[in-house]
Amino acid sequence: MARTRERGWPPAPDALPVPVVDNHTHLDSVVEWVADGWEPGAPAGTTTIAQHLERAAAVGVTRMVQVGCDLDAVHWTDEVVRAHPQLLGAVAIHPNEAVLHAGVREIAPDELEPDPQPRHATQLDDAIDTVMSIARANPRIRAIGETGLDYFRAGPQGRAVQRDAFRAHVALAKELGLALQIHDRDAHDDVVDVLLNDGAPERTVFHCFSGGPDLARIAREQGWYASFAGPVSFGANDELRAALGELPPELVLVETDAPYLTVHPFRGRPNAPYLLPGTVRTVAEVTGRDLEAVCTQIARNSEAVYGPW
Ligand SMILES: [Zn+2]
């Protein structure tokens, strides 16, 4: 992260004409380890949640879904969504976390060494049970996620674990009547396979949608939502923009997935909810729709998925 620290937070964009929702962000990571404070040269970890909420609201990002998808972040999310009315929560054991809880230590296509943390001493079933009890007890947790399949970060053993964990989370979302947020990396066919075989929850969202027009058409047929993040603005991603063009406006959501995937032209610099307007403007450009209409639709879709807040 040395490079992002040097370059610091991007400037705030112009405000959107109508408030929107960042339906997938990781404020735990944003405040704990990303880059510097607002002022250049301030030490790492010195921004606060209140500052991020304020800065986002100033540009029309008034509400967010905070995603806690490792066991520590699940507990953090449970608390923080009670303290800030702008936030709802999503909780799950991320597919790459599930692999570590299951004791798998293999090298995947990413070629990284497994890096287990103290929390991974908890058995996978127990970790998912914790997700269930927190989601059941806190009415501000409105989604199970992110869960799914990550074939870039998992080898054969890991993939089997991820599939079981994904299926358990799908069942949990249905049991609790919550939305589902899916992480799908290099695994479109198998994600769709699980959803069709097990039956998708009524409100299913492909977080950081990464498919092409084919996956978009399946989503359209099934009524699944696609949430677009910074990559929709990256030059090389024509397939992603073509996918966006296949979707009806009522199935499109937006997100930052902060602290990653910062929208063009700030790629590689730290991300936070106040940078969502760049992605919203890209959606308006790609679909040839009026910015105000896009914002209004995004806000409406977000409430359709997560309920009012
Ligand atoms: Zn995420």
Residue 25 CA to ligand 1 center (angstroms) comes to 6
> What string of H, E and C letters represents the secondary structure of 176-190?
HCCEEEEEEECCHHH
Question: Residue 246 — pLDDT band, cuts 50, 70, 90?
Answer: very high
pLDDT of residue 254: 98
Residue 67 CA to ligand 1 center (angstroms) comes to 7
pLDDT of residue 35 exceeding 60: no
The letter for the amino acid at 211 is G
User: What percent of the chain is predicted at pLDDT more than 70?
Assistant: 93
Q: How far is CA 33 from CA 12, 47, 89, in A?
A: 20, 10, 20
Residue 245 CA to ligand 1 center (angstroms) comes to 23
pLDDT of residue 8: 80
pLDDT of residue 41: 59
Residue 228 CA to ligand 1 center (angstroms) comes to 12
Here the tokens at position 68 are: 């806690």
| Mean pLDDT confidence for 164-187 | 98
Q: Could you tell me if 65 and 87 are in contact, meaning their C-beta atoms sit under 8 angstroms apart?
A: yes
Residue 146 CA to ligand 1 center (angstroms) comes to 6
Residue 167 CA to ligand 1 center (angstroms) comes to 19
Residue 230 CA to ligand 1 center (angstroms) comes to 12
Positive/negative CA dihedral, 162, 239, 179, 19: positive
Q: Is the peptide bond before 116 cis (omega within 30 degrees of 0)?
A: no
Q: How far is CA 299 from CA 232, 251, 253, in A?
A: 19, 12, 8
The residue ranges of every structural domain in the chain are 20-306
pLDDT of residue 4 exceeding 90: no
Answer left, alpha or beta for residue 163, where phi above 0 means left and psi between -120 and 50 means alpha. Answer: alpha
pLDDT of residue 36 exceeding 60: no
Model confidence pTM above 0.85: yes
Residue 105 CA to ligand 1 center (angstroms) comes to 22
Residue 115 CA to ligand 1 center (angstroms) comes to 19
Residue 260 CA to ligand 1 center (angstroms) comes to 8
pLDDT of residue 46 exceeding 90: no
Residue 243 CA to ligand 1 center (angstroms) comes to 20
For residue 78, the number of C-alpha atoms closer than 13 Å in the C-beta half-sphere is: 16
Architecture field, domain 20-306: Alpha-Beta Barrel (3.20)
DSSP classification of residue 158: H
Closest CA to 164 of 125, 114, 130, 211: 125
Residue 24 CA to ligand 1 center (angstroms) comes to 6
Distance between CA atoms of residues 273 and 223, nearest Å:
26
DSSP classification of residue 274: G
